[in-house]
Structure formats: structure tokens, C-alpha cells
Amino acid sequence: MKTKIYDIPSLENIAGEAYNMISKDIDKAFESATKAILEGGTVAFPTETVYGLGANALSAKAIQKIFEAKGRPLDNPLILHIWNRDQLEGLVLEIPEKATKIMDVFWPGPLTIILPRKPEVPDAVTAGLSTVAVRMPDHPIAMKLLKQVNLPIAAPSANLSGRPSPTKGEHVVEDLNGRVNVIIKSNETKVGIESTVIDMSGDVPTILRPGIITKGQIESVIGRVQMDQALTEKDFQGIPRAPGMKYTHYAPKAAMTILDGQADDKKIEKINQLLIKTENISAGIASRKPALVLSEELARMLATGNNTSLTVYTYGSRRKPEQAAHAFFDILRKCDTECVDFIIAEALPDTDEVGFAVMNRMMKSAGHNIIGV
């Protein structure tokens, strides 16, 4: 399939003269994207969290194309994106008062709300569940597209299944060029990790996927909220309530080890030990290319000496985990393009709620391989 790729600026900071100069390009991109959705095709577009791969949510045939393009397991339901709350009327059976309250505060924004669904929503979207996930994205390109098609758009992250979610247009092109009808490339996404998913269909509101909107923030609006056991219980053996949370995700090609601990000198000691071990291995077999993924605080303390083959990526300050949320998926992809085959990553404190959301992704990308120091 020939993918039409349009590169346009985020419509956020563009007005007047500057807009007029490129308005033709912008119009062309939206015309093409709108047409593709209305004809039952697939369009990748930016949101404030990560790029999404969208199709008409009311067409089972269009939805099927998303699953095919991504290689996504069919039992993993999709999030419906809307631009106007009136659209919920056709999608959900009821909106509990608490759900309305969090929509008032957090929409448009990176919060996905699960509600009992209407039968009109195709089974393919919900993987046969009795609920449906909806969100209103806080991004001018996503919102403009949603407005123009005036249909709910089902959109998972625009990556091949299993790969890190795309935070840059080039990530989407890398994964989906030739597999979808249209890609709208634009700026890097702001948040960098996917939306918080909260289930409002039961008695106690339950977070199924942590994100930048935290449990604490939601509790300050509606009172008690719980975390799905799959997120908090070590060695959880059950089935997570969000089907997507059971899959291995974000796995870089490299083997990955996470270092967790309080003392920086201990972490550095361990890093050096692990690096010496890889050197020994690489002396025996094919070369090993390690990379470190660290907070800027630890990176500053680390003397890389004459190990010039060592790549160090920093995800920002450990005191500002939203920086790590923004950078993490891009770093994983860079490790792949640089053919890194061994990653040592520093854990963030998961006592911070955003740190917890980042650690949820980091643990998956490392296949839960973590060592305490």
C-alpha cells in the first residue's frame, strides 16, 4: 500500500502570517486524512500523549485494518477518540456522575475513561467486552481531524505491536509506512507516555493503566480511586482488567537490566561491574554494544573514562519524572537504531506517581529484569 505522508507543524503555536504561508499544506493533509477515514481507511496522527493510528470506530471493517497494520492481538480493545461529549450518547449506556466530574476537569486531556457500552459499538473495538474506552485528546491536529470526520475514531498507539509507542512522526513512518493510508507527521508529542486509563463502570473507580494524570489528582476530584491489582501486586498471576496490559510491550532489541536503589555510588559500582562483564563476553563472542539510560544526576557522577563505545542517554532529572515520561520511548528506539544490544537503565523512584507510570513502561521493556543495589 502506498502511504501518503504529510509533514505539518503542530497547529498550536501557529497563527496569522505563518499559518497563511502553509495553510495549503495543512488543508491538503486534512483533506486527505478525512477522506481516508470516511472511506474506511487508516490514518496516523499526533495526540498529546503518543501518535495514534485511527479508523472509523463504527465500522468493523475499518477497525480490522488497524489490527492488521499493527499486528495487534484481536483480544486487545481500542480507545475511541471524540471531540465533543455529545458523541458519547451513541457509544455508552450511561455516564455516572463521577465520570462526568473527571471529564469536566481532565478533558480534553490524557485520561481514558471506561464506561458500559452501547451495542452500536462494534465488537471488534471492544474485543467483545461490555465496556468501551473513550477519550478526548488535547491536541489541535487530533481535534481538527475528529471534528472534520465527526465520527468517533478508534486509535491505538501508532506502533507495530510490541514496539515502543511513537512520540515522533519519524517513529510512525519507521513502523507503519506502507501499512496505512495516511500519516500526519508533526511535532514530538508533549506527554510521551500513553493516557491514564480509568474504569468508571464498576463500584470503585479503578486505574488500569497509570499515566501522567495521577491517582492523587483524580482522587482530589471524586474521592477514592483504586489501582488494578495487576499494577501494584508483585508477581501478580491473574489477568489484568485492561487486556493490553498483559502483553510484553516496548521491548527494545537489546537485553535490558534495570538498576534500583538509593545510593548513587552503589549504582555506579554495579554499572561498572556489569560493563566489565560485557567486555569479557564481547572478547569471546560477537561484539556487545552497551548503553546506559540514566537520570542526569547519575550521568553527571559517572566517569565514562576511555570507554568510548559506551552510549549514555539521559532521561532528565529524577526529581522531574515527567521529563522521563517524555523521553523514554524515544530513547528505546534510539537504542534500536544504534544497534545497542545491552541496556542498563536506572529506575525512577516509584513513590512518585508519574515515576510509577514511567516505571510501569520501563519494567515491561526490560521484561521485569530488575536488580536492587
Per the CB < 8 A criterion, the answer to whether 270 and 373 are in contact is yes
Report the partner that residue 295 touches, choosing among Mg ion, ligand TXA, none (CB closer than 5 to 8 A by kind): none
**Which member of 141, 208, 231, 362 binds ligand TXA (CB under 6 A)?**
208
Taking the least distance from each CB to ligand TXA, the nearer of 241 and 288 is 241
CB 70, min distance to Mg ion, A: 8
**Which member of 122, 156, 166, 210 binds ligand TXA (CB under 6 A)?**
156
Per the CB < 8 A criterion, the answer to whether 54 and 180 are in contact is no
Report the partner that residue 243 touches, choosing among ligand TXA, Mg ion, none (CB closer than 5 to 8 A by kind): ligand TXA
Cell of residue 185, nine digits: 507527521
- Cite the beta strand spans of the chain per DSSP E: 4-7, 43-45, 52-56, 79-81, 111-116, 131-135, 153-154, 182-185, 196-199, 206-209, 226-227, 255-260, 290-294, 311-314, 342-346, 370-372
- Output the residue with the shortest Cβ distance to ligand TXA: 244
CB 254, min distance to ligand TXA, A: 22
Would you give the binding string for Mg ion spanning residues 153-172, x where CB under 5 A is met?
---xx---------------
Cell of residue 203, nine digits: 463500584
**Which member of 166, 205, 244, 290 binds ligand TXA (CB under 6 A)?**
244
> Cα–Cα–Cα angle for 4, 7, 13, nearest 5°?
145
- Report DSSP letters for 90-155, one per residue: GTBS---HHHHHHHHHH-SSSEEEEEEBPTTS-HHHHTT-SEEEEE----HHHHHHHHHHTS-EE-
DSSP 212: S
Report the partner that residue 363 touches, choosing among Mg ion, ligand TXA, none (CB closer than 5 to 8 A by kind): none
Tell me if 195 contacts Mg ion by CB under 5 A. no
CB 324, min distance to Mg ion, A: 18
Would you give the binding string for Mg ion spanning residues 35-64, x where CB under 5 A is met?
------------------------------
Per CB under 6 A, contacts with ligand TXA among 169-198 are 194-195, 197
> Cα–Cα–Cα angle for 125, 168, 358, nearest 5°?
75
Rounded Cα distance between 189 and 328, Å, is 12
Taking the least distance from each CB to ligand TXA, the nearer of 92 and 348 is 92
Question: What residue ranges bind Mg ion (CB under 5 A)?
Answer: 156-157
Question: What residue ranges bind ligand TXA (CB under 6 A)?
Answer: 47, 49-50, 52, 76-79, 110, 112, 114, 126, 129, 131-133, 137, 155-157, 194-195, 197, 208-209, 241-245
